A and B are shown apart, each in its own frame.
Chain A
Amino acid sequence: MSWKDEVRELERRREMALEQGGADGIARQHAKGRLTIRERIDLLLDDGSFREHGRATAIPDYDDDDRLLGYQPANYVVGYGKIDARRVVVGGEDFTLKGGSPNAAGLRKSVYAEHLAVRSKVPLVRMLEGGGGSVKGGAKKGGTVGEPVFTEPRFKIIADAMSQVPIVSAALGPVAGFPAGRLVASHFSVMTRDTAQVLIGGPALVQRALGVRMTKEELGGAHIHTRSGIVDNVADSEADALAQARRFLSYLPSNAWQRAPVLACDDPVERMEDELLTAVPRDSNAPFDMRAIVEMIVDRDSFFEIAPDYGPSQIAGLARLNGQSVGVLANDCRVYAGAMTAEAAQKYRRFVEMCDSFHLPIVNFVDQPGFMIGPEAEKNGTIRYGMAAVSAAVQATVPWASIQVHKGFGVATAAHYGEDAYVLSWPSVESGALPLEGGVAVAYHREIDASPDPEAKRKEIEDRLRANRSPYARAESFAVHELIDPRETRPVLCEWIDWIQPRLEQLTAPVAFGMRP
């Protein structure tokens, strides 16, 4: 007696599960320029590290004698794996079966993915391609309908997970309905440029509801969603998308109870770039390249920008200083002078909450002219989103360093300083309640109007006030910690990184207010 027959049957079933949607289904997927979920998992994970959960999960078809006639594998694949030798949970829809719309067995496994990541306290990488539910799966006569009233809401674990473990989502094909909801419930999302679309409802629904005829690509292609903020980054290929997912995770701890790994750094902490001395033009209205400044200061090649096309007046990304992961925020004066638009504010708020959730210190390069103004800005509700960004900053628990690079005006500037921020100022700093050019005209309008030469009067007042704004005034009043030579920024920040280590060691639990989509 042995269990040889059962083992043989088990192996046969494992092979059937690996057939996915069959040779035809796989060929159709490849013809669309897309990989299957199992190929994606192989591409993402360290070689041979995938440990699938629920390999036998399927919709079987038995005859009256309990002989297996047919076998449709669950169309969601999930399990443990490793990225750079660190544990992760990985999951994704199998588009070769039912277009990724969950079959009953697949649905159970997809809901399991978040639970597995949260319980295992490891990051989750979702590789999304598929639709939501279908009316075809409706009630059977005599069966039960709906979920029992005491069931935990299905979305609770999706929301909870965001405060506990890093979540990355990659859209690698059409992603609609529920999977689109999962996509945005992430700390980082990426989509392929030519083969992915993200939609709440697809073309057929849109035409029925609104009478508008549009393609998937027109409704939810990369050109739409990198600017809507639904997807952070765009990738040229699936391999590129998954490489970006791996890179993002390299900066983060495995969960909110741990600290981000500190890597060995071969970039000298004392490195001082001469170009920093000329990086900010003396002409206040001439734009400059803030990204180049950031890259000269952080560890070489360590800057990973997130959502460059969304709210582009605000730059956000991850980087390292002497091997320590940090969140980098900076203003791009080439777009609306770096002003905080409604989009920039939402990007900012989410990014600060993400850094706070995973205890990444924030380094902020400030060139903030204020909230965006004008009719569009008012219609977009800019001040509300702006104050949400300010609130996220002042309530953040992570160590914070702000480098006053150039402008710092108005209420929006408050978003650039966490509580107890270490404030460094460059000689090029200009700050106050309002930029002088507009501010003087408003505040001194009576005096200016009454003058025989209003233009000369305005200039005289501006010059007088400008003198009070010398970078020394704030340093003398201890309103900034240090006025520094821009070239010193890297050494000074790296030293700061060393001094905040005891504080970072204390940050070992989820924060009171995590990140929401």
Chain B
Amino acid sequence: MADVEVKSEVAGSVWKVLVAVGDAVSEEQEIMILESMKMEIPVEAPCAGTVAALPVAPEETVEEDQVLAVIAS
């Protein structure tokens, strides 16, 4: 078991969170959609596993490299 941090590639805000803590996710599954410069940027799970943490909520602003989710794989 390893915890994998999913970091934001862009600064922007959280538009939708598509999973909840405890959900099983597959690799490349969309787990969140950010909004940045009017574009809807999907965030994908880098690996299969279980969502261990979701430190951000919709409408929250995020910085580049900020942790959006933690996946236990």
Q: Mark A residues whose CB is within 8 Å of B.
A: 284-287, 312, 333-337, 339, 369, 372, 374, 376, 435, 437-438
Q: How far is the CA of A287 from the CA of B9 in the complex (A)?
A: 14
Please, which residues of chain A bring their CB within 8 A of the CB of B11?
Answer: 374, 376
Least CB distance, A288 to chain B, in whole angstroms: 10
Please, which residues of chain A bring their CB within 8 A of the CB of B10?
Answer: 335-336
Least CB distance, A373 to chain B, in whole angstroms: 8
Least CB distance, A26 to chain B, in whole angstroms: 39
Name the contact of A336 in the complex, choosing from B36, B40, B42 (C-beta under 8 A): B36
Q: How far is the CA of A369 from the CA of B36 in the complex (A)?
A: 12
Name the contact of A335 in the complex, choosing from B9, B38, B42 (C-beta under 8 A): B9
Contact A287 B41 (CB under 8 A): yes
Please, which residues of chain B bring their CB within 8 A of the CB of A369?
Answer: 37-38
Name the contact of A339 in the complex, choosing from B9, B37, B40, B42 (C-beta under 8 A): B37
Least CB distance, B64 to chain A, in whole angstroms: 9
Closest 3 CB pairs of A and B: A337-B37, A337-B39, A336-B37
B residues contacting the other copy or chain, number (CB 8 A) = 10
Q: How far is the CA of A437 from the CA of B39 in the complex (A)?
A: 12
Which residues of chain B in 11-69 are interfacial with respect to chain A, using CB atoms and an 8 Å cutoff? 11, 36-42
Q: How far is the CA of A8 from the CA of B1 in the complex (A)?
A: 66
Least CB distance, B44 to chain A, in whole angstroms: 11
Name the contact of B40 in the complex, choosing from A287, A312, A372, A438 (C-beta under 8 A): A287
Question: Of residues A312, A336, A369, A374, which shows the largest number of chain B Cβ atoms within 10 Å of its Cβ?
Answer: A336
Least CB distance, A166 to chain B, in whole angstroms: 32
Please, which residues of chain A bring their CB within 8 A of the CB of B41?
Answer: 287, 334
Given that A335-B9, A335-B10, A336-B10 are known contacts, is A286 also in contact with B37, CB under 8 Å in the complex? Answer: no
Contact A337 B40 (CB under 8 A): no
Q: How far is the CA of A34 from the CA of B9 in the complex (A)?
A: 32
Name the contact of B36 in the complex, choosing from A284, A337, A376, A435 (C-beta under 8 A): A337
Q: How far is the CA of A284 from the CA of B36 in the complex (A)?
A: 13
Question: Of residues B36, B37, B41, B42, which shows the largest number of chain A Cβ atoms within 10 Å of its Cβ?
Answer: B37
Contact A437 B38 (CB under 8 A): yes
Please, which residues of chain B bring their CB within 8 A of the CB of A337?
Answer: 36-39
Kindly report which residue of chain B lies nearest to residue A288, judged by CB atoms.
B39
Q: Can you add 16 more A-B contacts, CB < 8 Å, to A285-B40, A286-B40?
A: A284-B38, A286-B39, A287-B40, A287-B41, A333-B39, A334-B41, A335-B10, A336-B10, A337-B36, A337-B37, A337-B38, A369-B37, A374-B11, A376-B11, A437-B38, A438-B38
Q: How far is the CA of A335 from the CA of B11 in the complex (A)?
A: 9
Least CB distance, A438 to chain B, in whole angstroms: 8
Q: How far is the CA of A285 from the CA of B41 in the complex (A)?
A: 9
Least CB distance, A46 to chain B, in whole angstroms: 41
